[in-house]
Amino acid sequence: MTPKTFFELKPSGSRTSTGGVSPLGGEYDEYLQGYDVPRSQNGSETRFRTTGTTEVPPESLFYPPHNGNGRRAGASRSWWWAEIASVAGSIAAMVALVIVLALFDGRALSQWNFFIQPNTIISILVMVSKTSMLLAVSACLSQLKWKHFHDRPRPLNDLQIFDSASRGPLGSLYLMGNLRLGAVLAFFFAVVTTASVAIDPTAQQILQFPSRITKLENVASKLGVAEQYSSRAFRNKYPESDASRISQANQKHLHEDFYLEYFNGDTLLLQSSLLNAIFGSIPEPSYSCPPPATSCSWPDFSTLGVCRSYRNLTEVAAPACNATSSNDKSPTRNLTCMYDYHGRNRSEFLVDMKWNLVAKPGPDGKMQGYPADWTWYQAMSTIHTDKFGHQTLSMTSVKMLNGNSPVNGKTPPPTEMLQSDWYLCEHTHHGATIDSGRLTPGRVVSAPLTPLRNTTVPASNMGAGPGGLYDESFVTYRADGGTGREYTVGQYQFSRLYAFLKSALDNRFGLFDNATRVESGGSLGALLPMGYYMNLTDHAALTGRVAEGVSAQMRSKTPAGDNDELTMLEGAAFRAETYIHVRWPWVLLALIEVVAAAVLVTVTIFITRGQPLLKSSVMALLLHGLDGWEEEGKAGSLETEKDLEERSKGMTARLCEDDNGWLRFSKSF
């Protein structure tokens, strides 16, 4: 036949079913099954032909198969099984991903017992889902290009656009920018392909591994609480190891045992601990927060302790000064001042300050008295005992502020007067915790204790063994302003603790003997320059540390504590653990992609039913070549891809049958 140019489709003569065999074999026989082709009155098919004819080699003719009544057989759906399986595999992988995430969301990472880490599992499932999905999407895009040209005439360049879109996101972007509404279904496929680029990065954001605090059911924490105080350092008890000798009334041994028990290793530990508290190192109560716990907490609790009150008495100080001199011609005179204040406890010791004054010319040239030997600092402590045997400790201190000020008459140099009291009280702790080995007391509310009664226990009844050294008095207190609970303290033991603090705090610091001798310290002055230290230290902080140090010792037991009757309060133990947290919004993209792909594949199968299932077949492009172009349709030997693209943009074709039923890309105007 002589080829002719195609510009419209017209019905040709009828042709009955021949049952011919395609040269491509049985696989291609189903290519055109299901086409809706007009029929003649006798049942034969009406064929579309070109206005011209094309010489088709007989060996290349394609004869579509027919059924017995002259209609083509229905299109086989077997060609979509691979895509359906891909979509099913993608959905299955996504369902598995959701199940895994739901099962381990909120669980401790330590419960993940697989050798593959959670992020690896997610990456594998997402990769399987994405790959399976894109296989089906690519096949559908390839199939839609045949429908694109079958529906109406299109530029041949659209073939290249569809082919590129089926290969990946870059081609899909090009399709979205060029075809737009010209191929709506392909456009959505291109969107799915392009969006798939973000699936892997978003999958990395699905899991988060924060830390949380988890309660340990089989671990108990403990914290020292003092409901009564029985000192280990100051014992009123015979050593049990010497019970046999004491029972024989050996006075020599009794005398030796008395001193062995009066001072012991625990005495040194307590005294050194209290000194350390004065210097700023405060001990901690007894506690236990055993591994694997990293933190512990306790319910609100109340405990016996020591509180401190602090006042600056400078404004109300009333020094009584007396000035003396050896004779009227002496250039020196002595000034001694006894410091008192309104409201002082009558049993409290007064503080005296002494200065030796030397006459020197002042700024105006007149002779004035200046300190030569003087007291810089003086502190006096007093133990107060009431009718119940309840004891408190007070300390009054006077500090000279400026030694270069002239002294006239009986007016002392500028001084500061401070006063502190220590007393038994109840500490109520709210929110005490231990975190990373550090004890935090929480919010502490303090209430003074009121003595209720004094109970005397004979020495013979003092605990196990042969008894105590002598009778012991125990004072019972009640926290009237707090919880109302009662606490018991041994009078003898507590008086010895206050006695040690008094010996440590009673200090004087100054220059004497014409400034040739420095005195710093009271009973500890030969060992520690306590007077010098206390003169330079903030008294409010120092006295507060003393109260905290004594309270900590009352809440501690062996080896570093002082309370034999300590109660250990149980609390809760916790451990910081890493757990798996699923951020579900990051799963949405993968889910939407899979659902969208499944819907689009289903729609593609439906709208392309009855059409040839060629998909990405290269052979189909070769066999269904161009029809209607002569020399202008031929390619040169040195053409580039760009040259072909430019030429194809001006070539409009439609996929249809010629006179012989062969599908061709026929030229259209």
User: Are residue 303 and residue 318 in the same domain, yes or no?
Assistant: no
Question: What region, left, alpha or beta, does residue 633 occupy, with left being phi > 0 and alpha being psi -120 to 50 degrees?
Answer: alpha
Q: Residue 634: pLDDT above 70?
A: no
Task: Calculate the alpha carbon distances from 337 to 118, 374, 375, 398 in Å.
Answer: 81, 12, 11, 11
pLDDT for the residue 468: 65
Q: Residue 501: pLDDT above 60?
A: yes
Distance CA 524, CA 433 (A): 37
User: Are residue 498 and residue 637 in the same domain, yes or no?
Assistant: no
| Cβ-count burial 242-276 (b if 16+ within 10 Å, e if not) | beebbeeeeeeeeeebeeebeeeebbebbbebbbe
Q: Percent of the chain scored above 90 by pLDDT?
A: 37
pLDDT for the residue 242: 46
Q: How confident is the model at residue 582 (pLDDT cuts 50, 70, 90)?
A: very high
- Domain contains 637: yes
pLDDT for the residue 441: 93
Strand partners, 420: 310, 395
Per DSSP bridges, beta strands 450-457 and 391-400 are: unpaired
Task: Please state the domain count of the chain.
Answer: 4
Q: What are phi and psi of 251, to 5 degrees?
A: -65, -30
- Domain contains 543: yes
Question: What region, left, alpha or beta, does residue 43 occupy, with left being phi > 0 and alpha being psi -120 to 50 degrees?
Answer: left
Q: How confident is the model at residue 222 (pLDDT cuts 50, 70, 90)?
A: very high
User: Are residue 573 and residue 432 in the same domain, yes or no?
Assistant: yes
Q: Residue 198: pLDDT above 60?
A: yes
Domain of 85 in residue numbering reads as: 78-208+581-609
Q: Residue 229: pLDDT above 80?
A: yes
What is the mean predicted confidence (pLDDT) over 205-234?
A: 90
Q: How confident is the model at residue 31 (pLDDT cuts 50, 70, 90)?
A: very low
Torsion sign across C-alpha atoms 218, 224, 225, 228? positive
pLDDT for the residue 18: 35
pLDDT for the residue 262: 64
Q: Which long-range contacts (CB under 8 A, 24 or more apart) does 324-332 make?
A: 331/358, 331/359, 332/356, 332/357, 332/358, 332/359, 332/372
Biggest CA-to-CA distance, the chain: 161
pLDDT for the residue 32: 37
Answer for the pair 334, 326: CB distance below 8 angstroms, yes or no: no
Answer for the pair 359, 406: CB distance below 8 angstroms, yes or no: no
- Domain contains 461: no
- Domain contains 463: no
What SS3 class is residue 468? coil
Q: Residue 253: pLDDT above 70?
A: no
Give, rounded to a whole angstrom, the gap between the first and last alpha carbons of the chain.
22
Q: Which helix (H) or strand (E) holds 194?
A: helix 184-195
pLDDT for the residue 601: 93
- Domain contains 253: no
pLDDT in tens, 304-326: 999 999 999 999 998 998 887 75
Q: How far is CA 646 from the centre of its chain?
A: 60
Q: Which helix (H) or strand (E) holds 267?
A: helix 265-279
pLDDT for the residue 526: 66
Find the DSSP H helices in 537-668: 539-554, 588-607, 618-623, 641-649
User: Are residue 573 and residue 587 in the same domain, yes or no?
Assistant: no
Q: How confident is the model at residue 660 (pLDDT cuts 50, 70, 90)?
A: confident
| CA angle centred on 164, ends 162 and 166, rounded to 5° | 70
User: Are residue 302 and residue 439 in the same domain, yes or no?
Assistant: yes
What SS3 class is residue 412? coil
Q: Residue 11: pLDDT above 60?
A: no
Q: Tell me which residue of 289, 273, 221 sits closest to 562, measured CA to CA.
A: 273
pLDDT for the residue 77: 46
Quick one: 408 exposed, middle or buried, by C-beta within 10 A (0-12, 13-18, 19+)?
Answer: exposed
- The residue type found at 297 is S
Distance CA 557, CA 567 (A): 9
The radius of gyration computed from the CA coordinates of the chain, to the nearest angstrom, equals 52
Q: Residue 55: pLDDT above 50?
A: no
User: Are residue 569 and residue 602 in the same domain, yes or no?
Assistant: no
Answer for the pair 591, 224: CB distance below 8 angstroms, yes or no: no
Answer for the pair 273, 514: CB distance below 8 angstroms, yes or no: no
Task: Calculate the alpha carbon distances from 345 to 311, 382, 384, 394, 508 in Å.
Answer: 14, 10, 9, 10, 22
Beta-carbon count within 10 A of 31 CB: 21
pLDDT in tens, 463-474: 655 566 677 888
User: Are residue 557 and residue 529 in the same domain, yes or no?
Assistant: yes
Mean pLDDT is highest, among 478-482, 514-518, 618-622, for 478-482
- Domain contains 516: yes
What is the mean predicted confidence (pLDDT) over 514-537?
A: 78
- Domain contains 298: yes
The pTM (predicted TM-score) of the whole model is 0.63
Q: How confident is the model at residue 34 (pLDDT cuts 50, 70, 90)?
A: very low
What SS3 class is residue 131? helix
What is the mean predicted confidence (pLDDT) over 422-450?
A: 93
User: Are residue 407 and residue 510 in the same domain, yes or no?
Assistant: no
Beta-carbon count within 10 A of 444 CB: 14
Q: How far is CA 128 from the centre of its chain?
A: 34
pLDDT for the residue 58: 39
Torsion sign across C-alpha atoms 147, 150, 152, 156? positive
User: Are residue 525 and residue 569 in the same domain, yes or no?
Assistant: yes
User: Are residue 585 and residue 571 in the same domain, yes or no?
Assistant: no
Beta-carbon count within 10 A of 611 CB: 18
Q: What is the mean pLDDT of the chain?
A: 79
pLDDT for the residue 244: 46
pLDDT for the residue 473: 85
User: Are residue 117 and residue 56 in the same domain, yes or no?
Assistant: no
User: Are residue 521 and residue 414 in the same domain, yes or no?
Assistant: no
pLDDT for the residue 640: 67
Pick 476 or 20 by higher pLDDT: 476
Q: How confident is the model at residue 21 (pLDDT cuts 50, 70, 90)?
A: very low
pLDDT for the residue 74: 42
pLDDT in tens, 111-166: 888 888 999 999 999 999 999 999 999 999 988 888 888 888 888 888 888 888 88
Answer for the pair 644, 651: CB distance below 8 angstroms, yes or no: no
Cβ neighbors of 33 (< 8 A, separation 6 or more) are 64, 65, 72, 73, 74, 75, 76, 610
What is the mean predicted confidence (pLDDT) over 565-579?
A: 92
Q: Percent of the chain scored above 70 by pLDDT?
A: 76
- Domain contains 245: no
What is the mean predicted confidence (pLDDT) over 645-649?
A: 73
DSSP of 70-112: SSPPPPPGGGGHHHHHHHHHHHHHHHHHHHHHHHHTT-BGGG-
Q: Residue 624: pLDDT above 80?
A: no
